[in-house]
Homo-oligomer: A and B are copies of this chain.
Amino acid sequence: MPAYYREIAEDLSARILQGEFPIGSALPSENRLSATYGVARGTVRRALGLLRERGAVTSRQGSSWIVEAVRQGQDFGELRSFAQWARSRGMDPGGQVVSSSVTAATVAERRKLQLADGGDVLRVVRIRTLGDRRVMLERTVYATWMIPIIQTLGPHEPSVVQTLFERFGIVTAYADNTLDAVAATGEDAQLLGVRRSSPLLRLRRESHDARHRPIEYGDDRYVSGTIAFHVHTRQSSNSMRRLLN
């Protein structure tokens, strides 16, 4: 059973989305809301706090809560699944495994994936597409314990993240991502169908489960002009999502 404050946040969120409270308008006061929802003021404030985190409302001492944005959707985790992100924007994500091999881990891989000596890793190279455009080259190294799981996936699996969750309950609890720009190598260029030395946006990631166990790390290279990353920063929070140019 969800807690009251979550239900109230969802309800307010829905009412904003339906236009009952337009952007720039004031919400009813906390006291009024606590009366209409039949809960204590603190519970209403907790719900409003959730909405503020999402950027839906703001507040100023002495004045009412104001609707800031109508935009919905779970920001968190959008970085984690290329396919889910694409589908939520009405695009058609695809994938194609270029190569897949199990080999002994290098020293660096053992460190990053916290593997014991002699552990193997699974290296997978995938091309990710949107419609018929190749937009990203993904090189992933999976920890030893993930090998049998990944190998049950088909070569055209559109969403690895979603399938891992649905079939195995594996969830990425957190990930560290580093973004920079690199020139396409010969291999990058050939697989992505761009000229050698073209600028690519590189995202290196290391993902972990809830018990801090490394799941995989990888190197994703996006073709310039196809996808950009967007960050909304504000004084107390920020969120990141992918954008199509």
Which residues does A use to contact B, with CB under 8 Å?
Answer: 53, 75-77, 79-80, 171, 173-183, 197-202, 222, 224-225, 227-240, 243, 245
Nearest-CB distance from A6 to chain B (Å)? Answer: 12
Contact in complex: A183, B199 (CB < 8 Å): yes
Contact in complex: A230, B76 (CB < 8 Å): no
When distances are taken between beta carbons in the complex, the residues of chain B under 8 Å from A173 are: 234-235
Q: How far is the CA of A230 from the CA of B222 in the complex (A)?
A: 16
**Which among B53, B77, B197 is the interface contact of A235 at CB below 8 angstroms?**
B77
Nearest-CB distance from A29 to chain B (Å)? Answer: 21
What is the chain B residue whose CB lies nearest that of A49?
B49
When distances are taken between beta carbons in the complex, the residues of chain B under 8 Å from A227 are: 180
The count of identical subunits is 2
When distances are taken between beta carbons in the complex, the residues of chain B under 8 Å from A243 are: 178
Contact in complex: A181, B235 (CB < 8 Å): no
Contact in complex: B200, A197 (CB < 8 Å): no
When distances are taken between beta carbons in the complex, the residues of chain B under 8 Å from A201 are: 179-181, 201
Q: How far is the CA of A161 from the CA of B171 in the complex (A)?
A: 39
Nearest-CB distance from A40 to chain B (Å)? Answer: 12
Nearest-CB distance from A193 to chain B (Å)? Answer: 16
Decide yes or no: A232 and B178 within 8 Å by CB, A238-B240, A240-B238, A240-B240 being known contacts: no
Contact in complex: B232, A174 (CB < 8 Å): yes
- Most B C-beta atoms less than 10 A away, residue of A227, A233, A237: A233
Q: How far is the CA of A26 from the CA of B189 in the complex (A)?
A: 50
Decide yes or no: A179 and B228 within 8 Å by CB, A197-B197, A238-B238, A240-B238 being known contacts: yes
Q: How far is the CA of A197 from the CA of B182 in the complex (A)?
A: 11
Q: How far is the CA of A53 from the CA of B52 in the complex (A)?
A: 14
Q: How far is the CA of A197 from the CA of B184 in the complex (A)?
A: 11
When distances are taken between beta carbons in the complex, the residues of chain B under 8 Å from A202 are: 181
Decide yes or no: A181 and B77 within 8 Å by CB, A174-B235, A199-B199, A201-B201 being known contacts: no
When distances are taken between beta carbons in the complex, the residues of chain B under 8 Å from A228 are: 178-180
When distances are taken between beta carbons in the complex, the residues of chain B under 8 Å from A237 are: 53, 76, 237
What is the chain B residue whose CB lies nearest that of A201?
B181
Can you offer 29 A-B residue contacts whose CB atoms are under 8 A? A53-B237, A75-B238, A76-B234, A79-B231, A80-B233, A171-B235, A176-B230, A176-B232, A177-B233, A178-B229, A179-B201, A179-B229, A179-B230, A180-B201, A180-B222, A180-B229, A181-B182, A181-B199, A181-B201, A181-B202, A181-B222, A181-B224, A182-B199, A197-B199, A198-B199, A231-B240, A237-B237, A238-B238, A238-B240
